[in-house]
Structure 1
Amino acid sequence: MTEFTVRHNPERERFEVLVAGNAIGKAAYKKYDGGGAPQRIFYHTVINEEYGGQGLAGKLATFALDDTVAAGLGIVPVCPYIKKFLTKHPEYAGSKVAITPAHLQFLEDALAARAAKA
């Protein structure tokens, strides 16, 4: 198995898997506080194809969700991988927040604003 590191990169609003200092995977989120309690909307998780099959996505998700819970934030699982991961890991059920239209609109607006800057 490849030696890797997982870290939180808050400036880029994502958790990253690093191999030899290079990001080879990420779990991207947007911070959201419109629901009364602060939350992270996870919207995209990916591991580079050549590193697939090593369990890195699961390790990334565990790190990201543990950090989110420790920070007292709710988990909004828009990302299909995180959504599926949560069904297999009931220990996060108390922090899971149901997706609402407000979450989806916020995410759409945030991603559109980021794309417009690029």
Structure 2
Amino acid sequence: METESDITVRHNADGHRYELLDGDAVIGEAHYLPFDGADEPRRIFYHTTVDDAYSGQGLASTLSRVALDGTIADGKTIVPVCPYIKSWLGKHDDYQPHATAVRPTHLQALSGMNR
């Protein structure tokens, strides 16, 4: 494992995910589904993971922060289906104005996708 200074996050827009990198190796991902609702565009975050070898370093939090900051910067609302993202939002009140409750239409959109 390389030093933490080699840890970066990139947005893989084509893959609909944010990737946590150690050098060139993908060690974590925050997956989302783009969702254009009637009132505003959203990103439905449905799965976040970090390799076990990197646990306990706060990297899932770093990944979440970058992913959610990117979502906000892109003018999209956060839909927290992923338990980790939902928990993270609960600890960061300043992100609440940029999130919306999970609705049946969000879950229906996820059920129709091939993950």
Show the counterpart of 2:56.
Answer: 53
Show the counterpart of 2:32.
Answer: 29
Letter of the 1:33 counterpart: D
Structure 1 runs of 4+ aligned residues shifted over 4 Å read: none
Show the counterpart of 1:83.
Answer: 86
Distance 1:36 1:95 in 2: 14
Show the counterpart of 2:7.
Answer: 4
Q: Secondary structure at the match of 2:9?
A: strand
TM-score by length of 2: 0.93
Tell me which protein shows more helix as a share of its residues: 1
Q: CA RMSD in A?
A: 1.0
Unmatched tracts of structure 1, length 5 or more: none
Letter of the 2:13 counterpart: P
Q: 2:17 aligns with which of 14, 17, 31?
A: 14
Identical-pair percentage: 47
Unmatched tracts of structure 2, length 5 or more: none
